[in-house]
A and B are shown apart, each in its own frame.
Chain A
Amino acid sequence: MIWNDEFETLPKEAIESLQLKRLKQTIERVYATVPFYRNSFKEANVTPESIKSLDDLRRLPFTLKSDMRDNYPYGLFAVPLDQIVRIHASSGTTGKPTVVGYTRRDIKMWAELMARSFVAAGAHRGDVIHNAYGYGLFTGGLGAHYGAEKLGASVIPMSGGNTRKQIMIMQDFGSTVLTCTPSYSLYLAEAAAEEGVNIQDLKLRVGIFGAEPWTEEMRREIEAKLNIKAIDIYGLSEILGPGVAIECHEAQHGLHIWEDHFIPEIINPDTGEVLPDGELGELVITTITKEGIPMIRYRTRDITRLIAEPCICGRTHRRIARMSGRTDDMLIIRGVNVFPSQIESVLVSIEGVEPHYQLIVEREENLDTLEIQVEVNEQTFSDEIKVLQDLSSRIRHEIKDLLGITCKVRLVEPKTIARSEGKAKRVVDRRKESQ
């Protein structure tokens, strides 16, 4: 099923002419209303009139997260505050939060794109959507909420946390669709088991997971443990929030990015050069319908590639592949590029090993060291030392095979690695502290 047949199945040429029309409007508007853009366009010697084709987009400068911080809080808003009906912000773990504002029309558009996303994921009217994304400044909770209401489903505004109650509500209210971070879904399954509840007996059918990078192996684990279809959703507050792109349940392969509202590009993160479809690089997004904060060539830091091939679901919008990491998450350990997701795929492939892990990177006498902390559970624990040592050395060998680097594996007690109810913290890089 498709929510908006007219727009979701537009032929490529129609999408492109719509994109060009909307891009021109956006460029004119930000040039007139946002001094930051006017200045940066002038520096790059571009005027709104010089944008004549979609290819001209690449003449415009990139917008970075630091530009949002430099213009904190409202400097990038393209409308006066009296037209902004909602303000969200990122967590600001690495400094001041990045603040975003939505006009009434932005909120409507967001709900429309989330409704499309829910339908693509296989949800429908009549579903009981258990929304365990955090409500508040974080866009996840309210973004999914408005989309679920637009869809006409019954939404339970759970927010994150209070795990026991989440399980009780899922049982009693008959939740059929779960929305949360992928790591929290496994935490819910774990907590349910501890309560003596078999989460597989619940009515859950679909899970829509995003807000943190996860792997194909983790998807299989979630699908097996919760007995649901696990769908990957993508979004970021700087662009919109959840619902920028989503996998369709038919293919579960790549996330359709709603091209009538966003123009995606893939660039080489080092040179800024635009790469052709299919090549791996950093995702850059330009919004072409947003009023509150239009974003021109925003560098997402997410690493993916564009899939242009037609999809079996019938939607014509291109797909972005599952995120393989973030340019700012990427660790360089002794010269080797390492993404936490690569380590995760090794761990999840080993029978009985929990996908709860943490990477500790340190520097000892100018040499980088990587320690992988892995939780021991009843399935992997043995009363014999050699069994546990075999497990550590197996993980060590598989990491060495995959990445070519030697690591230390430390088995830790269960629940010692923080279970965030939002995003999991996978990496502790102590090299930065010691420098």
Chain B
Amino acid sequence: MKVEQISIFIENKSGRLAEVTEALGDAGVNIRALSLADTSDFGILRLIVDKTDLAKSTLKERGFTVNKTEVVAVEVPDRPKGLFGILQVLDRASVNVEYMYAFVERCGGNAVIIFRFDNPEEAIKVLTQHNVNVLQGDRIYSM
């Protein structure tokens, strides 16, 4: 039920983000979702791509520090309070969200949001108990 995400350490220097996307493009890797968290000195680029391992090895070869982590893709009803409903479920179960970002594409009539939890198993259990659709990795990579 989990989705593989890669994260890349990027110094705040012009051109580094372009280099990442160029390298991935050259390797034929397509980006499905992304989020960039930044501080004054560095940023962390988080990506969900169609070919995770290829992306990771390509970037490592180019000298980037790359990590693979597991995140959870959740289908969120595309209407007011759609996201609130899901966060409320998580909050009531005391599941903490480390960070989250939106998916590029929609799934049917729904938006897709990527969550990073400190306890993903617990989060998935809570969400499915409340009939929230959690998307499989394979589905996400090929969307």
**Is B84's beta carbon under 8 Å from chain A?**
no
B10 within 8 A of A: yes
A388 within 8 A of B: yes
Cβ of A410 < 8 Å from any Cβ of B? yes
A375 to chain B, nearest CB (A): 9
Q: Are A384 and B116 in contact (CB under 8 A)?
A: yes
B11 in contact with A383 (CB, 8 Å): no
Chain A proximity mask over B12-38: 1 for CB below 8 Å, otherwise 0: 000010000000000000000000010
Give the residues in chain B near A389, CB-CB below 8 Å.
39
Which stretch of B62-70, B85-93, B103-111, B127-135 is in the interface?
A: B62-70
In Å, the complex CA distance between A232 and B9 comes to 35
0 or 1 for each of A369-397: is its CB under 8 Å from B? (1 = yes): 00000001110011111001100000000
Give Cα A410–Cα B63 distance, bound, in whole angstroms: 18
Q: For residue A385, which residues in chain B have a CB less than 8 angstroms away from its CB? A: 37, 39, 44
Q: Is the CB of B116 within 8 A of A383?
A: yes
Q: Interface size bucket, B side?
A: 20 to 34
Chosen A-B contacts, 14 in total, with CB atoms closer than 8 Å, are A377-B65, A378-B66, A381-B65, A382-B7, A383-B7, A383-B44, A383-B116, A385-B37, A388-B42, A410-B41, A413-B63, A413-B64, A414-B64, A416-B11
A430 at the interface (CB under 8 A from B): no
Give Cα distance in the complex from A376 to B99, angstroms.
21
Task: Give the docked Cα–Cα distance between A43 and B132 (Å).
Answer: 92
Q: How close is A392's CB to chain B, nearest CB, in angstroms?
A: 8
Q: Which of A384, A411, A415 contacts B63 (CB 8 A)?
A: A415
Q: 7 closest A-B pairs (Cβ-Cβ)?
A: A383-B7, A381-B65, A383-B69, A376-B9, A413-B11, A381-B9, A385-B37
Residues of A within 8 A of B116 (CB): 383-384
- Specify which chain B residues have a CB less than 8 angstroms from the CB of A44 in the assembled complex: none
How long is the Cα–Cα vector from A415 to B42 in the complex, in angstroms? 15
**Once the chains are docked, how many angstroms separate the CA of A410 from the CA of B40?**
10
A428 at interface, CB cutoff 8 A: no
Within 8 Å CB of A381, what residues of B? 7, 9, 65, 67
Interface residues on A, range: 10 to 19
Pairwise interchain contact B63-A383, C-beta atoms closer than 8 A: no
Closest A residue to B7 by beta carbon equals A383
- Docked-complex contact A383 and B67, CB < 8 angstroms: yes
Chain A residue, CB-CB nearest to B66:
A378
For A375, the closest partner residue in chain B by CB is B65
Known pairs A383-B46, A389-B39; A413 contacts B67 (CB<8 A): no
Report the bound CA distance from A210 to B68 in whole Å.
38
**Contact between A412 and B11 (Cβ–Cβ < 8 Å)?**
yes
Rounded to whole angstroms, the CA-CA distance of A387 and B10 in the bound complex is: 15
Q: Which residues on the B side are within 8 Å of A413 (C-beta)?
A: 9-11, 16, 63-65
Closest to B45 in A: A383
Contacts of B98 in A (CB 8 A): 384
1/0 per residue, CB under 8 A from B, across A391-420: the answer is: 000000000000000000011111110000
Q: How far is the CA of A383 from the CA of B70 in the complex (A)?
A: 10
Nearest chain B residue, comparing its CB with the CB of A392: B41
Q: Which residues of B contact A382 (CB under 8 A)?
A: 7, 67
What is the distance, in angstroms, from B39's C-beta to the closest C-beta of chain A? 6
- In whole Å, how far is A328's beta carbon from the nearest beta carbon of chain B? 30
Q: What's the least CB distance linking A63 to chain B, in Å?
A: 45
A373 to chain B, nearest CB (A): 10
Q: In the bound complex, do residue A414 and residue B63 qualify as a contact, i.e. CB atoms below 8 Å apart? A: yes
Residues of chain A contacted by B63 (CB below 8 angstroms): 413-415
Contacts of B99 in A (CB 8 A): 384
CB neighbours of B7 from chain A (8 A): 381-383
| A415 and B63 alpha carbons, distance in the complex (Å) | 7
Q: Is the pair B44, A414 in contact by a Cβ cutoff of 8 Å?
A: no
- Taking the nearest CB of chain B, how far is it from the CB of A165, in angstroms? 20
| A413 nearest CB neighbor, chain B only | B11
Residue of A nearest to B63 (CB): A415
Residues of B near A415 (CB, < 8 A) are 63
Per-residue CB contact flags for chain A residues 233-272 toward chain B (1 = under 8 Å, else 0) read 0000000000000000000000000000000000000000
Interchain CA distance A16-B98 in the complex, whole Å:
70
Write out the residue numbers on chain B whose beta carbons fall within 8 Å of the beta carbon of A411.
9, 11, 41-42
CB distance from A195 to the nearest CB of B (A): 12
* B42 to A, closest residue via Cβ: A411
Interchain CA distance A383-B117 in the complex, whole Å: 12
Contacts of A383 in B (CB 8 A): 5, 7, 44, 46, 67, 69, 116
Q: Given the complex of chains A and B, what is the CA–CA distance between A205 and B116 in angstroms?
A: 46
